Amino acid sequence: MTTVLITGIEPFESDPTNPSWDIAQALDGTQVDGAVIVARQLPCVFGVANERLVEAIEDTSPTLVFALGLATGRTEISVERVAINVIDARIPDNAGNQPVDTPVVTDGPAAYFSTLPIKAIVQTLRKAGVPAGVSQSAGTYNCNHLFYGLMHHIATRAPHVRGGFIHVPTTPELAARHAGRPSLSIDTQIKGIRLAVHTALATQADLKVTGGAVH
């Protein structure tokens, strides 16, 4: 049976939960179009997260990998286009490390593109009433590092696997702890990620529709 690996990240900064893991957990063991979803939680720790991710891929032999993370402040499900080979941490990770301007992989390429059909995913989600968009930057913190590590592993050791990264907004419950934060209900987020899996399973070549940004 086809396996889809979905990873979420443990809570970080001052939040008690991380919706990326809540979504992954909710989908764990469920099926989409005959494929089974397997969820794994990753630590918000530089290096260790990428080691765990590679272990999870080797353990579960997935066809597709969706790595999820929280992007507080985002208003919609953000399908990331590109991972860059740099870490510039604004805050320490959960082990107290705060690398600044270090590569994710020494001597690795500057960047990798997602191999998920990012435009088709955004279009499907919007048609289903789930706010979504292409994002041109996954930041320079733990999630970009995880995304780069995923794509580097795929490029060098698992070329038959397709994968990418989706940043999710915060939930109303987490947003209520801080003033003025946009949020999206966890049920809408779960629906969006299920639809993203469905779209990736059904779409080999991405749509040529704009998802660009002027700045």
List interacting residues with ligand PCA (CB under 6 A).
9, 12, 18, 20, 44, 69-71, 139, 141-143
When the beta carbons of 7 and 199 are compared against ligand PCA, the nearer one is 7
Is residue 143 part of the annotated active site? The answer reads yes
Pick 22 or 194: Cβ nearer ligand PCA = 22
- Four-CA torsion 133, 117, 39, 25, nearest 10 degrees: 30
Count of C-beta atoms within a 10 Å radius of residue 100: 10
Q: What is the nearest approach in angstroms of ligand PCA to the Cβ of residue 94?
A: 9
Q: DSSP letters along 73-132, please?
A: T--SEEEE-EEES-EE-SS--TTS---EEE-SSTT--SEEE--S-HHHHHHHHHHTT--E
Q: Choose the catalytic residue: 145, 152, 153, 167.
A: 167
Q: Which is nearer to ligand PCA, 15 or 206 (CB)?
A: 15
CA distance 122 to 118: 6
The residue annotated as part of the active site, out of 44, 76, 80, 145, is: 80
Give 37 or 143: the residue with its C-beta nearer to ligand PCA: 143
Q: Are 67 and 39 in contact (CB under 8 A)?
A: no
Q: Is 55 a catalytic residue?
A: no
Closest contact distance (angstroms) between CB of 9 and ligand PCA is 4
Q: How far is the CB of 46 from ligand PCA (least distance, A)?
A: 10
Strand partners, 19: none
Catalytic annotation, pick one of 44, 76, 143, 152: 143
- Amino acid 104 reads V
Torsion 75-81-87-92 (CA) sign: positive
Known catalytic residues are 80, 143, 167
